[in-house]
Amino acid sequence: MVVCYRFAFRNVDAKKEGMVSRKIRIFVGLTKKDTKMHAYVFPGQGAQFVGMGKDLYDNVPLAKELFEKANEILGFSITDIMFAGTDEQLKQTKVTQPAIFLHSVILAKSLGDEFKPDMTAGHSLGEFSALVAAGALSFEDGLKLVSKRAQAMQKACEQNPSTMAAIIGLPDEKVEEVCASIQGVVVPANYNCPGQLVISGSNEAIDEACKKLSEAGAKRALKLNVGGAFHSPLMEPARVELEEAIKAAPFAQPICPVYQNVDAKPYTDPEKIQKNLIAQLTSPVRWTQIVRNMLADQATLFTELGPGSVLQGLIKKVDRSAVCESKQTL
């Protein structure tokens, strides 16, 4: 627990103390109080919508500058698609991932001195946003890695036709057990909240898993409209491709701990952060445990930065008493 001090005073009668004014407050010492810990969280793929980030572009000079810089780095006008494109254009992985990253990170930077995180975390893609917001990566390097990640994932999806499915209403252990019993590739991919786990794998293995999990009592076993088996062994070609880019990027010590997807633990060491980020593409997102660990480390307010409010909902399902808010603009 982090502890700070506050000044403590008591009221006295000035006449009794032989002083001029009638009522004063005198300093009597220091008392301890618990610090409020502010956690900032960043969404992943699926939260995008047409118009995202436009308010920042129109009203915050720094935001406009960063969006224009992003267009140059990416080699195409992503702002045209973000602000006035079609849903289909925005759904392209090579567009979706940089778009969500940009909205989240530019919003954090637009907050200026108001952005004072005690801890950060991001869901899947959102981990890159969390690292840049916390200063572990520069804006430019973060965007280049996100773009590289999106392209590598798209390529891996085309090599291995695959998908994901949301399993609702079963304990994590039961889902793990059923996945392990199936021939072919199917694994838990996103531990989103208690009773909600996303599995990932080949088309045939996902179909079989959904059937068996429904028979085991799942309230829903719903295939998702995604183009690949993210956070599964089928992403190995993408992991290998991204590894070199991550190793080449300069990482710095963040201004606060970043809770990483692979094991839900907080990190500040640049080398460990880098290693965990390399493993992320083929490892599950342990979001439930991240939220529990943040709460155990005294998080008192969660602020979600970027499009949508999915993470706010998931955090509330982990702990109903958690205080959450979502921000899409200033």
Q: List the catalytic residues.
A: 124, 231
Distance, CA of 40 to CA of 109 (rounded, Å) = 13
Measured at the CA of 174, the angle between CA 169 and CA 177, to 5 degrees, comes to 145
Bridge partners, 162 (sequence order): 202
Rounded to 5 degrees, φ, ψ at 10 are: -135, 150
**Type of residue numbered 11:** N
3-state secondary structure of 100: helix
Q: b/e map of 259-292 (b: 16 or more CB within 10 Å)?
A: bbbbebebbeebeebbebbbebbbbbbbbbbbbe
Distance, CA of 38 to CA of 134 (rounded, Å) = 13
Bridge partners, 303 (sequence order): 40, 325
Q: Residue with structure tokens 């909902």? A: 313
Relative orientation angle of helices 203-215 and 172-180, to the nearest 10 degrees: 130
Distance, CA of 28 to CA of 214 (rounded, Å) = 65
Asked if residues 28 and 8 have their Cβ atoms less than 8 Å apart, the reply is: yes
The residues, ordered by sequence, that sit 6+ positions from 84 with a Cβ below 8 Å of its Cβ are: 50, 51
Measured at the CA of 237, the angle between CA 235 and CA 241, to 5 degrees, comes to 115
- Category of 140 on φ-ψ map: left (φ > 0), alpha (ψ -120 to 50) or beta: alpha
The residues, ordered by sequence, that sit 6+ positions from 197 with a Cβ below 8 Å of its Cβ are: 166, 167, 170, 172, 175, 188, 190, 191
